[in-house]
Amino acid sequence: MTPTRHSPAVVAVALLLAVLAAGRRGAEAGGDKSDCSVAQTAFSECTGYVAGLDDEIPPQCCQGLGDLKDMAPGANQRRDLCACILSEMLAAGKVDSGRAAGLPSACGLSVGFLPTSPDFDCSQIP
């Protein structure tokens, strides 16, 4: 049995929308767009699961979360990365709040800056 995979065209469109949205958000927030692109790429393997499209968390998702954690030593970095990840989630079209909230624990990580809903306020990240 083959695992459920999304067509490359769908993934490419979702990533393009995420990059465009992040560019606007990054410009408004004064964030570093290159860090935002790296964060979105690191999180991209998680979007199918968080959107409810994939039944299981891909191993690459957990690796990406670990990379994100390493990218955010300070509060400002955590807030900026949260905003970038949120735009990636929204570009996927749907956010399953339960899956988003449980993702760090399922990966065995403590990542306290992942958005857990479409209206998540990244400015409140400590």
Within 10 Å of residue 4's Cβ, how many Cβ atoms?
Answer: 10
Helix (H) or strand (E) holding 42: helix 33-43
The pLDDT value given to residue 18:
43
Task: Specify the residue for token string 């509060």.
Answer: 75
The pLDDT value given to residue 35:
87
Q: Give every CB contact of residue 4 below 8 A, 6+ residues apart in sequence.
A: 53, 54, 55
Q: What's this model's pTM, rounded to 2 decimal places? A: 0.69
7-62 pLDDT, tens digit each: 544 443 344 334 434 444 444 444 556 789 999 999 999 999 999 999 999 999 99
Q: Does domain 10-112 correspond to CATH entry 1.10.3720.10?
A: no
Within 10 Å of residue 98's Cβ, how many Cβ atoms?
Answer: 12
82-97 pLDDT, tens digit each: 999 999 999 888 899 9
Give the integer Cα–Cα distance in Å for 7 and 38: 22
Q: Domain boundaries in the chain?
A: 10-112
Q: Give every CB contact of residue 9 below 8 A, 6+ residues apart in sequence.
A: none
Q: At 39, is the secondary structure helix, strand, or coil?
A: helix
The pLDDT value given to residue 39:
92
